[in-house]
């Protein structure tokens, strides 16, 4: 390929994204519509009118850790949806940072041409993280069994010795400190990385690459620990009695593949708008391989966790899958299997061939399916513990997701305008331009 007569000029690589006012308007309408649908949905459910799949209170439940406290079912469902989406989108955002850092640490060249896209994702962290913190302060007692009145108090009739035994980790102050720390560290390190990245554009030279590599080390060290602990805090502790050593990595694997799918969709939609001229089917192929491989990785982790619990069949562990399989009148069976179908089977077959990974339409379909599949992963992770028999899939779910998705796209688009979409002075850029697989 490229011989010495070839001309490569970083200045020509620069591309600036135009966040048009019509896109802004559409996204704001999306957010407002999401909120409106959410409110209408909540109102209707509270009045007992169902659109979509609604599970009313007549399901007797499956003896799960008391949901009789506090808010009415419909309100719990609203809170649960907000929590679940905030966590889901926090994951997508932080995976943007994770992806960029891994590219630096592994000396990847091909991705330098599109790295600005995932690099924009963590801009959403203050919003999704902020929502998590607000929800915890406002509804912590609704969300977490370990926050229920009296579970830690030996005098109380609600005393639960097992939960009380976890109070050294699951207590209000420590939980808040941890949550703030996760969001703060992830966002803070991203701000530093983003600044270095912009300075590289302005000044040029290879020193920024080395600096970002060093920063990537710090982030990966932080994330190696916090990706697991945040999963224990935000998701595993919902089912307070239950535990699994794999849970942190399983939760991370779900976030990761979703983040890759969102990256792919974002890259393709930018390309369709005429940006990222130098991104071609070779780069898309790599993104496709990533989605394929990490769908399988997620499945591997999912299966290992499931099989070991199923095989050993210890009551304190199997209850988790029992609840999802046959608990609450079997309402979680569908999301459980949709998750497996869309998270594993579909991408596994869909992305099997080389051609599929090089075709934009195929990639768009595959990426969307992965995102939906993992939405249901989080749904089945959280809802049984959060709302039990009051779960459903209707206007509340559609509205919340529409709101979060529109807000995410808005914030990311706004962030994309703040630097050239192509990191023109990235030392690996010419490798990426010549990428050919």
Partner 1 sequence: MSHVSAVVRPPLVTGGKSYHDITEDVCRQVEGKPTASWKIVFGISSVVLFLGTCSVFWTWWDGLGNWGLNKTVGWAWDITNFVWWVGIGHAGTLISAILLLFRQKWRTSVNRAAEAMTIFAVICAASFILMHAGRAWLAYWCIPFPNTFGSLWVNFNSPLIWDVFAISTYFSVSCLFWYCGLIPDLATIRDRAKSKVSKFIYGLLSMGWNGNTKTWFRYEYVSLILAGISTPLVLSVHTIVSFDFATSVIPGWHTTIFPPYFVAGAIFSGFAMVNNLLLIVRWTFKLQDYITIEHIETMNKIITVTGSIVGIAYITEFFIAAYSGVEYEQYAFINRAFGPYWWAYWAMMTCNVVTPQLFWIQSIRRSIMWTFALSVVVNIGMWFERFVIIVTSLHRDYIPSSWAMFSPTIIDIGDYVFTFGLFFFLFLLFAKYLPVINMAEVKAVMKSSSERFPYKVKPGKSTGEKVTE
- Tokens describing residue 164: 């009380």
Pick between residue 35 and residue 164 the one whose CB is nearest to partner 1.
164
In this complex, which beta carbon is closest to partner 1, that of residue 10 or of residue 50? 10
290 contacts: CB under 8 Å, gap ≥ 6: 260
Q: Which is nearer to partner 1, 7 or 47 (CB)?
A: 7
In whole angstroms, how large is the CA radius of gyration of the chain? 23
Q: Residue 107 or residue 137: which is nearer to partner 1 going by CB? A: 107
Helix locations, 358-394, DSSP H: 360-386
Least distance in Å: CB of 82 to partner 1?
Answer: 26
How far apart are CB 65 and partner 1 at their closest, in Å?
A: 14
The closest alpha carbon to 231, from 356, 97, 90, belongs to 90
In the complex, minimum distance from the CB of residue 206 to partner 1, in angstroms, rounded to a whole number: 5
Q: How far is the CB of 368 from partner 1 (least distance, A)?
A: 25
Q: Phi first, then psi: what are they for 393, rounded to 5°?
A: -135, 100
Kindly give, in sequence order, each residue whose CB lies less than 8 Å from that of residue 310, ignoring residues fewer than 6 positions away: 318, 321
- Pick 132 or 170: Cβ nearer partner 1: 170
The answer to whether the beta carbons of residues 89 and 404 sit under 8 Å apart is yes
Residue keyed to tokens 């079912």: 73
**Least distance to partner 1 from the beta carbon of 204, Å?**
3
Which residues contact partner 1 (rule: CB under 8 A)? 1-4, 8-11, 107, 109, 162, 165-166, 169, 203-207, 209-210, 224-225, 228, 232, 243-249, 289, 296, 300-301, 304-305, 307-309, 311-312, 314, 316, 424-425, 427-431, 433-437
Nearer to partner 1, 40 or 293 (CB): 293
CA atoms 260, 262, 266, 268: torsion sign: positive
Of the candidates 182, 127, 134, the residue with the CA atom closest to the CA atom of residue 409:
127
Look at residues 343, 335, 333 and name the one whose alpha carbon lies nearest to residue 376: 335
Q: What are residue 54's phi and psi, to 5 degrees?
A: -115, 135
Choice between 131 and 279, CB closer to partner 1: 279
The distance of closest approach from Cβ of residue 215 to partner 1 in the complex, given in angstroms and rounded to an integer, is 15
Q: Report d(CA 431, CA 285) in Å as an integer.
A: 16
> What gap in Å lies between CA 20 and CA 32, rounded to an integer?
19
């Amino acid at each position: 390929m490229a011989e010495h007569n070839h001309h490569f000029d970083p200045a020509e690589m620069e591309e600036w994204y135009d966040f048009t006012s019509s896109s802004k308007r559409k996204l704001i309408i999306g957010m407002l519509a999401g909120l409106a649908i959410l409110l209408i949905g909540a109102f209707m459910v509270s009045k007992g009118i169902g659109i979509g799949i609604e599970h009313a209170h007549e399901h007797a439940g499956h003896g799960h850790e008391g949901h009789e406290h506090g808010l009415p079912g419909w309100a719990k469902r609203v809170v649960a949806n907000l929590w679940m989406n905030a966590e889901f989108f926090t994951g997508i955002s932080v995976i943007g940072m994770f992806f960029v850092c891994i590219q630096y640490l592994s000396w990847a060249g091909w991705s330098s041409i599109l790295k600005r896209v995932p690099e924009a994702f963590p801009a959403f962290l203050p919003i999704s993280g902020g929502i998590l913190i607000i929800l915890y302060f406002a509804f912590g007692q609704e969300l977490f069994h370990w926050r229920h009145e009296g579970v830690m108090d030996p005098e109380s009739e609600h005393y639960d010795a097992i939960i009380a035994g976890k109070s050294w980790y699951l207590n209000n102050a420590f939980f808040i400190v941890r949550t703030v720390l996760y969001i703060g560290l992830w966002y803070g390190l991203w701000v530093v990385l983003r600044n270095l990245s912009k300075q590289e554009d302005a000044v040029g030279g290879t020193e920024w690459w080395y600096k970002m590599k060093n920063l990537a080390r710090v982030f990966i060290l932080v994330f190696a620990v916090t990706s697991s602990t945040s999963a224990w805090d935000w998701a595993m502790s919902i089912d307070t009695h239950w535990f699994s050593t794999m849970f942190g990595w399983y939760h991370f694997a779900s976030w990761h593949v979703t983040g890759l799918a969102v990256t792919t969709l974002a890259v393709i939609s930018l390309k369709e708008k005429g940006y990222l001229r130098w991104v071609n089917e070779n780069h898309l192929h790599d993104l496709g391989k990533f989605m394929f491989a990490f769908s399988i990785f997620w499945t591997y982790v999912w299966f290992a966790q499931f099989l070991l619990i199923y095989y050993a069949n210890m009551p304190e562990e199997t209850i988790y899958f029992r609840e999802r399989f046959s608990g609450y009148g079997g309402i979680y069976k569908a999301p459980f299997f949709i998750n497996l179908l869309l998270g594993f089977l579909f991408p596994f077959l869909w992305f099997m061939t080389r051609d599929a990974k090089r075709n934009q339409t195929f990639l768009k379909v595959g990426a969307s399916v992965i995102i939906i599949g993992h939405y249901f992963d989080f749904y089945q992770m959280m809802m049984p513990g959060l709302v039990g028999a009051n779960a459903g899939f209707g206007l509340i779910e559609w509205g919340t997701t529409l709101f979060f998705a529109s807000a995410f796209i808005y914030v990311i688009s706004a962030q994309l305008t703040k630097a050239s979409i192509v990191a023109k002075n990235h030392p690996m850029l010419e490798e990426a331009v010549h990428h050919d697989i």
